[in-house]
Amino acid sequence: MAKKSSDLEHIPGEDPFIVARGGFYRRWLSMIEDIDELEGIVASLDSTTEDNWVPIWRAAGAKHEALGDDYDTDGDHAAARKAHLLAKTFYAIGRFPSEVSTVKAAISADCARAYRKACAHLDPPMEVMDIVCQEESFRAHFRAPKSDSPIPAVLIMCGADVFKEDRGWAAELALDAGLASLVMDAPGTGENPFPWKPESVKAWVAAIDALMARPEVDADRVGAFGVSRGGYSVMQLAGTAPDKVKAVVANAGHPFGYDMTEDEMAAVAEARNRRSTYRFGPADGPPSFPTWSVEKEKEIFAGWSLSSLGLVDKITMPVLMINGDSDHLAPIGNIYFMLESGPPGTRSAKVYKGSGHCAFEHQPEWGPASFQWLADHLNG
């Protein structure tokens, strides 16, 4: 019997040479059925630098893209979509963490191409929207179920190292719940040209405005959904534009306003420093992730936290927060901090005991539940 992701050992962390629940591949596990194939690919890796990393993942993606092309030629579009989505996922792993070099940009183009193929026969279709914000533009993916009248919608925010092509599953869940959706890259990633700075929330506001302007969408019933850094982004957006965002699901996210102890800050710094030891770009290039410190964590808190930005009390719409209680990147105290503020009855949470960042191994539960929760509140 083929191994499933639920059969894997739970080992939180960022080690790319281990396939485990809560580990490096948590970002993509729900998109890969054959865990044996994934483990075989990982076992063939000698290093994470792009000279070794990218060719191996590109070969895996190309194999499934070719299978998808054959299925399309035979008219089996369902099988083709499945193969093309798997190709996209392997290309996306090869691109990780972003387009830091020409080699990474090339496999990123492979990823986008495979995703377009996977979406070629969708019903309802996926539409690529170009959203303009202060003379810049960025692309996002729009889908809406067929309806005779305007319907609720959700803006789906990506995180730091997973792009919109890897959030198609969220758009599918939105459709299942009767919601239109717009999936966008976070600033500084994918096709979003804005830098990762607090003021780049203007790009998210522009996306909300574009979503509200769609004829398929009821502008008075728009929510937001985000995972990882996207969980922070939707909370920042909600506090910035509370008149436009009517319900929010935030999975993980940091910093909200929880004042960590010195020991907790040291643990976060240690986890981030372990991640910084892996170099995913050129062998002679810069580190893929910066080194961290307690002082750096305090600096981020002062510049980014929802409390420092004065947004906590502006988040008065219904909010659902989700995470594992052992998150090494977004401490669970963020959720408890938010539960302690806001109007009574507006904030709720689901915390998974013994689970790590975003509780990805529980995605089969919290994924559909999140969008049903959004539908219930936006329709209500």
Q: Where are the domains of the chain?
A: 5-118, 127-257+305-379
Please give the average per-residue pLDDT across 174-189, as a whole number. 94
Name 136's bridge partners.
Answer: 133
Please state, in angstroms and rounded to a whole number, the distance separating the CA atoms of residues 213 and 308: 31
Q: What percent of the chain has pLDDT over 70?
A: 100
Tell me: pLDDT of 12 over 80. yes
**Sheet containing 248-251, strands listed edge to edge, beginning at the edge strand earlier in sequence:** 127-133, 136-143, 180-184, 151-157, 217-227, 248-251, 319-324, 347-352
For residue 141, what pLDDT is reported? 97
Q: How confident is the model at residue 1 (pLDDT cuts 50, 70, 90)?
A: low
In this prediction the pTM is 0.94
Tell me: pLDDT of 65 over 80. yes
For residue 135, what pLDDT is reported? 86
- Nearest CA among 361, 281, 208, 259 for reference residue 50: 281
Structure tokens at 115: 């995703």
Mean pLDDT across the chain, nearest whole number? 94
Please give the average per-residue pLDDT across 80-89, as a whole number. 98
Task: Convert the pLDDT of each residue in 325-372 to its tens digit.
Answer: 999 889 999 999 999 988 889 999 999 999 999 999 999 999 999 999
Q: At what angle do helices 102-118 and 77-95 cross, to 10 degrees?
A: 160
Q: How confident is the model at residue 170 (pLDDT cuts 50, 70, 90)?
A: very high
For residue 10, what pLDDT is reported? 87
Q: Which residue has the tokens 């990506």?
A: 158
Strands 151-157, 217-227: pairing kind? parallel
- Nearest CA among 194, 264, 268, 265 for reference residue 233: 194
Task: Convert the pLDDT of each residue in 97-148 to its tens digit.
Answer: 988 899 999 999 999 999 999 999 999 999 999 999 988 899 999 999 999 9
Structure tokens at 71: 């299925």
Tell me: pLDDT of 188 over 90. no
For residue 4, what pLDDT is reported? 80
For residue 368, what pLDDT is reported? 98
Strand ranges (DSSP E) for 257-367? 319-324, 347-352
Please state, in angstroms and rounded to a whole number, the distance separating the CA atoms of residues 360 and 371: 16
For residue 147, what pLDDT is reported? 95
SS3 101: coil
CATH architecture of 127-257+305-379: 3-Layer(aba) Sandwich (3.40)
Please state, in angstroms and rounded to a whole number, the distance separating the CA atoms of residues 324 and 347: 17
- Alpha carbons within 13 angstroms on the beta-carbon side of residue 344 total 0
Out of 162-166, 177-181, 216-220, least confident range? 162-166
Residue 43 CB partners (closer than 8 Å, separation 6+): none
Please state, in angstroms and rounded to a whole number, the distance separating the CA atoms of residues 5 and 39: 11
For residue 201, what pLDDT is reported? 94
For residue 5, what pLDDT is reported? 83
Q: Are 355 and 22 in contact (CB under 8 A)?
A: yes
Q: Which residue has the tokens 């191409």?
A: 113
Q: How confident is the model at residue 159 (pLDDT cuts 50, 70, 90)?
A: confident
Please state, in angstroms and rounded to a whole number, the distance separating the CA atoms of residues 22 and 34: 17
Please state, in angstroms and rounded to a whole number, the distance separating the CA atoms of residues 307 and 102: 39
Out of 3-17, 310-324, 363-377, least confident range? 3-17
Tell me: pLDDT of 2 over 80. no
Q: Which residue has the tokens 């219904």?
A: 318
